[in-house]
Chain A
Amino acid sequence: DVKVTQSSRYLVKRTGEKVFLECVQDMDHENMFWYRQDPGLGLRLIYFSYDVKMKEKGDIPEGYSVSREKKERFSLILESASTNQTSMYLCASSLGLMVGEQYFGPGTRLTVT
Chain B
Amino acid sequence: AQSVAQPEDQVNVAEGNPLTVKCTYSVSGNPYLFWYVQYPNRGLQFLLKYITGDNLVKGSYGFEAEFNKSQTSFHLKKPSALVSDSALYFCAVRDTMNYGGSQGNLIFGKGTKLSVKP
Query: Residues on A close to B: CB < 8 A?
Result: 4, 9, 31, 40-43, 45, 48, 50, 56-58, 90, 92, 97-99, 101-107, 109
Contacts and interface: CB of A to CB of B under 8 A. Distances in A.
A56 B102 contact: yes
Interface residues of B, number: 24
B103 interface: yes
Nearest to B48: A101
Contacts, number: 55
Contacts of B43: 4, 90, 92, 104-107
Interface of B: 32, 34, 36, 41-46, 49, 51, 90, 94, 96, 101-106, 108-111
Contacts of B51: 99
A58 B102 CA distance: 7
Nearest to B42: A106
A43 B108 contact: yes
A101 B45 contact: no
A51 to B, nearest CB: 13
28 contacts: A4-B43, A9-B41, A31-B104, A40-B110, A42-B90, A42-B108, A42-B111, A43-B108, A45-B105, A48-B105, A56-B102, A90-B44, A92-B43, A92-B44, A98-B94, A98-B104, A99-B32, A99-B49, A99-B51, A102-B46, A104-B44, A104-B45, A106-B41, A106-B42, A106-B43, A107-B42, A107-B43, A109-B41
